[in-house]
Amino acid sequence: MMRLAELCALGGLELQRDADVLSLGFVDIPLDGRLVFARDAENLQRAMAAPGVAAILTAPALAPCVGSGPLGLAVAPDPGRAFVELHNSLAAHTSFYGTPSPSAIDPTARIHPKAHVDDASVVIGAGCIIDAGAIVLAGTRVAPDAHIMSGAVLGADGFQSMRFADGVVDFRHMGRVEIGERAVVMANAVIARAVFRQATRIGADCRIGNGAFVSHNVQIGARSLIGHGAIVAGNAHLGENITLGPGAICLDRLSIGAGAFVTAGAVITKAVDPEQRVSGNFAVPHDRFLGHVKRVAGGGAP
């Protein structure tokens, strides 16, 4: 925990009202005690109503809208840029996101000599198998009897960037990856660690197919099957016993209910109900797609 005043001093922000801050985070990601940023009036209203928000970073012109409530308040000319730069500075120069500890590998785990396991902040449980060429990075916890196949990467960075007029700034990923008991991560799959003080979780007995990508802070329930080459974008929640077919894509912040079946190549653009079976790739030009939907809904010719 840090006081907002300390964060302002580190990030060159103007403090208007102090508060305790446990983590940085986005408005729509539940995380207690977090500092969020708001660039416009609409996002500011969402930030003020969101549970778990302890403090807000916004533009000077918007600061009076926050009022005199309990929320901490800081301002900067460009709140988005100030936020990502503060996060990266905390990651690089402080222990705000935790202090590295020596990696702990159970003596019964089998680590191939040509696998890479970071020396700090990795935990590998009893009976695990880490194949040749696999990479296990800091912030990863592998539960007993899991199997990480050749070329898989645990703890990589995902795609969390902010674009500005003079370039693009990437968020450093400072959360964790947790692999459940008896889970299998197949060859060349990549599991990204969470950005903030959270964890990407792969449930017990899951299978992550060859070349699949699971992004930051994704939650996948036990016994779920993620097909070869599938993509699960950031902050998606997948229930237990779901099947995501080969090459399927689940967009960020979506949910797939327990027992659902997503066929090969499908693109998930809205929540999927439990036990529901869905198919289809709707990645066509947006205006064309909307026109098709209107024609189908109206019973007209395609």
Q: According to the model, what pLDDT value does residue 283 have?
A: 39
Calculate what percentage of the chain has a pLDDT beyond 90: 88
Which residues, listed in sequence order, are joined to residue 170 by a DSSP beta bridge? 161
215 with 180, same domain: the answer is yes
14 with 159, same domain: the answer is no
Q: According to the model, what pLDDT value does residue 282 have?
A: 61
Whether residue 266 lies inside any domain: the answer is: yes
82 with 158, same domain: the answer is no
27 with 158, same domain: the answer is no
Tens digits of residue pLDDT in 201-240:
999 999 999 999 999 999 999 999 999 999 999 999 999 9
Query: In the numeric block, which tokens belong to residue 52?
Result: 């778990």
Residue spans of alpha helices (H) in 57-151? 79-93
63 with 177, same domain: the answer is no
Average of per-residue pLDDT across 172-182: 97
104 burial via Cβ count (<10 Å: 0-12, 13-18, 19+): exposed
Please give the residue range of the domain that contains residue 65.
Answer: 2-93
72 with 130, same domain: the answer is no
Query: In the numeric block, which tokens belong to residue 4?
Result: 């907002």
Query: In the numeric block, which tokens belong to residue 51?
Result: 């549970």
Tens digits of residue pLDDT in 64-100:
999 888 999 999 999 999 999 999 999 999 999 999 9
37 with 167, same domain: the answer is no
Tens digits of residue pLDDT in 11-30:
999 999 999 999 999 999 88
Query: In the numeric block, which tokens belong to residue 270?
Result: 């809205």
Domain of 76, CATH number, reads 3.40.1390.10
Tens digits of residue pLDDT in 97-131:
999 999 999 999 999 999 999 999 999 999 999 99
Q: According to the model, what pLDDT value does residue 294 have?
A: 75
Query: In the numeric block, which tokens belong to residue 158?
Result: 């995902």
Q: According to the model, what pLDDT value does residue 284 have?
A: 37
